[in-house]
Structure 1
Amino acid sequence: MSVDTFPPHPLAPRRPRLAARIVEAADGIALDRGGTRFHLEAGGVDAPALGRVLRLIDGGRDAEALEREAGGADMPRLIRDLAAFDLVDEAAPPAARSGRAALFAIEDRTNRLLFTRLYRNRFWRAMLDDPHAVPERVFHGMAIENYHFLFRESWFDSPVLAWTGSTPARVAMNRFYGEEVGHDELILKALEAVGLDREILARTVPLPETMALANALSHWARTDPILFFATLGVLEGRDIDVDSFVRAAERRGMDEAFIGPIRAHAGINMNGGHGLLTREIFDALDGIGEDELGRVIDGLDLFVELYDDFYGAILDHYAVPGDRVRRVEGFAPDTGLPAIAGNVTTAPSAPEAAVPRRPKLRDGVGVAIEPASIRLDYGDQGCAIDILPEGLDEARRLMAALAAGAPRAQLAAVAPGFGAAGVGEILQALDGLGLLEDADPGIAHGVSGAQAMRELRRFVAAAEARICTGALGRAFAEGSASRAQLIGYAIEYHQVVRMGPRAVAPALGHAGSPARTRLLEGFLAEEVGHDRTLADALAAVGIDEDLLDRLVPLPETFALTSTLAVLAAQDPVSFEALLFLFERPAQRFHDLLVDRARALDMPEGFWSPLVWHAGLNDEGAHGDISSRLMGLRDFVGREQTLVTLKAAVTLLEAFDRLERRILSHYGPGADPIPSLRLPLSMTATRGEPAR
């Protein structure tokens, strides 16, 4: 086959090196690679000249140098054609750095962000400047939010435990995870000293900024492990929070029962060298490509913003007088719906012995009592229990009680000669052989999926009335929304829609009925590509696609999309139940948007695609997607219901925070360009990004 007839290879090497042996014969030039021979058509060039050209491809020259030395030969085409048959290799080194060199660049950026933003955070300024002026409830609030964060550490550590990029890095991460398990218990001990027990905390909703940080880390751990690894040094003690908070609490005179466990937790991180984990991991990497390094450095800006918001929110929320514990019941106090979640026992404990609470012999177990033993048979398995003659009557009573089913204490009472320990050993042996069942298996604590959805909608309606301010819609209605704010809304809306398919896709991996799979597949297929419509809208107001693709979302936008992605990946019930929040019709909102856009003389090409996209949800019945999915579930448990209610609050707060941030960030002007958030990689030509 002639290489002239083969399509050009899209990845021709920058500094090519021939990966085959040149064979010159009377009938022309060929290349031999492992016994496979490729005949080249000279294309008007004599064979010796073609051979000389091929020998130039030795890895020592780039394409331009090759063309100069080849004396007129079409080298770019030749290289592309050779690449199409994998007859050339890349001799140029990859665009990459060692893990350690990459980490130096990452630390440079991290340090700048920490010193210009996080270390100036109002929470830390208050703690360091005058902790006596900080209310005790703020110290308690820090512990509450830290508990919620650590309680969810498995969310964002576990996805990288199986990472395959480096065995030493994976081993280091697994060791770290093993050392981190249970740290939330130390913070719980501190909170118990101020009257907050495990059950109260299980029914509280973390601040939205706490969940934004936790969900972002969980999302990155699944989708961008290198960025996740880069955050660990900050999270584990290379910033000021580890011992500065302890010192501030000591200066404030906080009770030792409260501060002692927190001090112990800080000591574990420092003594275990957890703050150096990032360096250990990066040292173990083979290298990092420049494209990945740029993405990680840009991502650190967003991480530090979320971390900064986490601390600031603690001061803002808990400094306000009164009971600041965010109980889930408080978001819908008049509905009584949180009662469907019931009490949740979350205390870790040793597993109960593998014996039913009210042991009973399974139907079909045959019992044969002989003078010196009891024989039990069940299908192809069974056992013999040796007994002394004086224990024969007690053995009969024990077998009779087991045939009917009885509590363990009663079983011990009918066979006192065996002793409670002896009866327990017999029960454990019988259960291990599969001969026992439970005469009192209990009841299922929960409701059907359809009923859970009805109650959830009522909870959402009540909670939404308390949480959501409708800031954007009100600004449209009042005529105060600026041109920049309308464009800013479209930009952030585009970010959400573009992320949508990637956020939803993990939900397809969960087990479920074929009907569920078909429903989610259809939903996902209908969502793909909708960002193109919104890109058209933004193009009508001067935001070209190249710029749009580079923009960094607001932290509130990223919090919203990463929350959806985390639910899809690890909490399918909450994902299905709450997906409707993203798909609800909002006719009144879009009518107000159009009216305001027209009043500002904005082109129809801007607002028309926004309205058209909103109409797609109505046509596809996407607003009913949650009811359809949950209707396929026979059962939703009590604890899962509580988890879903809390996730509903998190999403409602995320929507509201995003609306308010769009108004404040994009401001009252007409031009959105000064407010565009550009990644660090673009600041050299466009100046510092807006934050």
Structure 2
Amino acid sequence: MSKSTITESKKNPIKPLTTDKKIELYNQKITEMYPRLTCQVNLYQEQIILSQNGRHFAFQVNDKLRERLEKLLLMMDGSRSLSEIQEIIYPKNPEAINEIVHNLDRQGFIDDVVQLRVTSGIDALLELEDLTNNLFNKSLKENHFYKAINLTTGDLPINILYGFAIEYYHLFCHNCFLYSPILSFQGSTKIQQLIKELYFQKYGQDELLLAALNTIGITGDKLIETIPLTETMAMCNGLAYWANFDPLFLLSIQGVLAEKTLEAFESYIHFCEQAELDSCFIKMIKQLITTKLNRESESLTRHIFQEIPHINEEMSQRLRRQIYLFVEIYNNFYKAIWNHYSNTSDLLRRIPTI
């Protein structure tokens, strides 16, 4: 470096940033970021303590500040931008929120605050339904039973028609295990009420199907001594698992599942009439369709997801991944009905003979 350069540098030295200037630049940087706490929040009467790996950071608070600060910390889950949080918590003084976030970040209590793709609940549901329908269209092309049941021409063997009713009876019998766990779904009271309506929509489906089977001599006592097809149990177990461990996913597939079930039964009743099955059997199936298999479930699902404000990208990806498994289980369910009942003269798989 030349002497003149050194002299010039001394005349115009680079001034270090003041604390206020650093905060101003930081505020500009984080306005559209999505802060997420990486520590445990412990709430006490006069202070809030953040704990992480054996170190602690305490806020001394009064009642008024405690409520606002608690709300701020709970909202910092990565789902909202800082500008959204400012608008909700302290719109008159957003700089105060920025300063708190700056201090928490400096202490290492905030994860790398990156922008997340957040989708409204109803938009996420519509995307999932589109994916599900596309996968159904691809995977069910080679499914003999599914293709046959959706045609208005041709016929189906009587054993397959009765087998369809038997396997759906076993499936409907598990409704209590599929829907009772989600009655305690954590959300708004509006969502809980909608889930109750969904539950009552499913309640009694098995009883109407059993009444139909009774007309052809298949009683409840006989069905107790039988077991469903392996693929039917796979459907039951899969739905029961999601009900207990991922209720949001179970709710997300209800609309498509209800629609596909209704379509199948509407075609099914056509084949039953064409095969001139027992009139009482047909009457009970029609009652099942009109009272329990209408499109109300699809409507309820839409209303539920309209009450969910947002679903982040991580959750959306998890839901999408599980759609592939659900479609595979559904496809196998129909394959098994065709493969088994088209090759057997015994409608009931009695436990003693298996």
TM over 0.5: yes
**Residue of structure 1 equivalent to 2:277:** 254
Task: Rate the CA distance shift 1:264–1:53 in 2: closer, same or farther, 3 A.
Answer: same
Instruction: Give the superposition deviation at 1:120.
Output: 5.2
**Residue of structure 1 equivalent to 2:186:** 164
**Residue of structure 2 equivalent to 1:242:** 265
- 1:37-76 → structure 2 map (5 Å cutoff): 49-61=18-30
**Residue of structure 2 equivalent to 1:312:** 335
Structure 1 contact 269–275 (Cα < 8 Å) conserved: no
Alpha-carbon displacement from aligned partner over 1:624-657 (angstroms, at most 9, x marks no partner): xxxxxxxxxxxxxxxxxxxxxxxxxxxxxxxxxx
* Residue 106 of structure 1 pairs with residue 75 of structure 2: no
Task: Rate the CA distance shift 1:162–1:63 in 2: closer, same or farther, 3 A.
Answer: closer
Instruction: Give the superposition deviation at 1:119.
Output: 6.1
**Residue of structure 2 equivalent to 1:275:** 298
- 1:122-521 → structure 2 map (5 Å cutoff): 122-129=144-151, 133-238=155-260, 240-269=263-292, 271=294, 273-331=296-354
Alpha-carbon displacement from aligned partner over 1:160-198 (angstroms, at most 9, x marks no partner): 110103432221111121232221110001111111101
Task: Rate the CA distance shift 1:302–1:202 in 2: closer, same or farther, 3 A.
Answer: same
Alpha-carbon displacement from aligned partner over 1:472-500 (angstroms, at most 9, x marks no partner): xxxxxxxxxxxxxxxxxxxxxxxxxxxxx
Greater relative contact order (Cα < 8 A, sep 6+): 2
Task: Rate the CA distance shift 1:87–1:159 in 2: closer, same or farther, 3 A.
Answer: closer
Deviates more, 1:162-171 or 1:129-138: 129-138
Alpha-carbon displacement from aligned partner over 1:271-306 (angstroms, at most 9, x marks no partner): 461232321221111211111111111111110110
Q: Which runs of 5+ in 2 are unaligned?
A: 1-13, 34-100
Task: Rate the CA distance shift 1:47–1:321 in 2: closer, same or farther, 3 A.
Answer: closer
Across the aligned residues of Structure 1 and Structure 2, the Cα RMSD in angstroms comes to: 2.9
Q: Which runs of 5+ in 1 are unaligned?
A: 1-44, 65-78, 332-691
Between the two proteins, what is the percent identity of the paired residues? 31
What is the CA–CA distance in structure 1 between the aligned matches of 2:116 and 2:28, rounded to whole Å? 14
What is the CA–CA distance in structure 2 between the aligned matches of 1:149 and 1:82, rounded to whole Å? 52
What is the CA–CA distance in structure 1 between the aligned matches of 2:331 and 2:145, rounded to whole Å? 9
TM-score, normalization by structure 2: 0.70
Which amino acid letter does the alignment assign opposite residue 225 of structure 2?
R
- 1:114-125 → structure 2 map (5 Å cutoff): 114-118=136-140, 121-125=143-147
Aligned residues: 273
3-state DSSP of counterpart to 1:57: helix
Alpha-carbon displacement from aligned partner over 1:476-531 (angstroms, at most 9, x marks no partner): xxxxxxxxxxxxxxxxxxxxxxxxxxxxxxxxxxxxxxxxxxxxxxxxxxxxxxxx
Alpha-carbon displacement from aligned partner over 1:320-339 (angstroms, at most 9, x marks no partner): 242131111112xxxxxxxx
What is the CA–CA distance in structure 1 between the aligned matches of 2:104 and 2:212, rounded to whole Å? 68
Instruction: Give the superposition deviation at 1:307.
Output: 0.6
3-state DSSP of counterpart to 1:134: coil
